[in-house]
């Protein structure tokens, strides 16, 4: 899925997904939220990125790079390079 926004794949029950969503919202960072429990195609994308796992949050950036289950520090570091 090509987009100029950050794509956040996650689940509604995942605490780390909620943390990342909150971080994006507080810092007014635009993103597209996709719940992999409700979207089988998105779940397959996550599994492809993570080597067969449904690891969330999985974040895909407009440059095609991704982070899987990042700490807040790792997320801040990545965002500073965009």
20-44 pLDDT per residue, tens:
999 999 999 999 999 999 999 999 9
The predicted structure's pLDDT at residue 4: 87
Query: What structural domains does the chain harbor?
Result: 6-79 (3.40.30.10)
- How many angstroms separate the CA atoms of 36 and 34, rounded? 6
Strand locations in 1-82 (E):
6-10, 31-35, 58-60, 66-68
What's the pTM value of the predicted model, to 2 decimals? 0.93
What is the per-residue pLDDT across 42-52, written as a single tens digit (0 to 9) for each? Answer: 999 999 999 99
The predicted structure's pLDDT at residue 2: 57
Name residue 7's beta-bridge partners.
32, 60
What single-letter DSSP state applies at residue 52?
S
Strands 58-60 and 6-10: antiparallel
Burial code (b: 16+ CB inside 10 Å, e: under 16) for 19-29 equals bbbeebeeeee
């Amino acid at each position: 899925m090509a987009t100029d926004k950050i794509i956040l794949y996650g689940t509604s029950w995942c605490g780390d997904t909620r943390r990342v969503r909150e971080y994006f919202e507080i810092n007014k960072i635009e993103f597209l939220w996709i719940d992999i429990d409700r979207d089988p195609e998105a779940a397959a994308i996550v599994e492809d990125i993570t080597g067969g796992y449904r690891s969330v949050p999985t974040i895909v950036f407009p440059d095609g790079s991704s982070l899987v289950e990042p700490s807040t520090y790792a997320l801040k570091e990545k965002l500073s390079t965009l």
